[in-house]
Amino acid sequence: MIEITLGFILGIIASFFAWLIVSRFIIPSLIFFPNIYKEISDENPSGYRYLIRFKNKGSRNIIDLELIAKLRIKGLYEHKKSAWKAIYIPIDDNRIPTIGIQKKYKRTVVQLCISKITDEAKASLPENLQIKVETGKITLEELLNLGVETNLQLFIFGYDSFSGSRKLFESKLFTVNDIIKE
């Protein structure tokens, strides 16, 4: 009887340590590059495209990734200086099937599609910027200079290819000072 009890306790302890290793140490891990990259582009009427880069530095692949870019503006409205307004910025490829383990020089790049902001989000912008959004001549700098405080953050939801557990990865809060020209 003591052998069965001891085996049961050791089995629970071994299972716990196996779970701990698999769920805490051998995991996918996204690392975001510290800047938003601004490149000259003939495709966009604004003349620029904005890129966010990241890579999987973890131990396993990430599958079925969903990307969301959220622009947060504090003080957009005169009568509500302390209120935050969220605008979701479309991304050129907001669903990525898989990202493998990326070594030294490999990375994933996504483009922010600023001129494709929804009509609902566009309606909350000042009138001069609404016109720029319609013509496609809006720049990210113009959006990040709105209000008292403004930032952009990229959220990535993805599944661990081994365990199937879903994980959220968040970039830092990008500001206008984080845009660099390439």
CATH number at residue 92: 2.60.40.1400
- Would you say residue 155 lies in a domain? yes
CB–CB of 176/167 below 8 Å? no
Share of the chain above pLDDT 90, in %: 49
What is the model's pLDDT at position 105? 67
Between 43 and 103, name the one with better pLDDT: 43
- Would you say residue 73 lies in a domain? yes
Quote the DSSP letter at residue 51. Answer: E
pTM metric for this prediction: 0.84
- Would you say residue 15 lies in a domain? no
Residue 182 has pLDDT above 90, yes or no: no
Q: Which residues pair with 62 in a beta bridge?
A: 99, 160
What is the model's pLDDT at position 1? 82
Give Cβ neighbours of residue 28 (< 8 Å, ≥ 6 apart): 56, 58, 59, 60, 61, 62, 158, 160, 161, 167
- Would you say residue 153 lies in a domain? yes
- Would you say residue 6 lies in a domain? no
- Would you say residue 10 lies in a domain? no
Work out the average pLDDT over 57-85: 89
Range of the domain at 147: 28-181
What's the pLDDT tens digit per position in 60-73? 889 999 999 999 99
What's the pLDDT tens digit per position in 90-108? 999 889 998 888 777 678 8
Work out the average pLDDT over 156-178: 92
- Would you say residue 70 lies in a domain? yes
Per-position DSSP letters for 57-116, written without gaps between them: -SSS-EEEEEEEEEEEEES-BTTBTT-EEEEEEPBTT-EEEEE----TT--EEEEE-GGG
- Would you say residue 12 lies in a domain? no
Residue 171 has pLDDT above 90, yes or no: yes
pLDDT band for 162, please (50, 70, 90 cuts): confident
Residue 179 has pLDDT above 90, yes or no: yes
CB–CB of 37/51 below 8 Å? yes
Please count the structural domains in the chain: 1
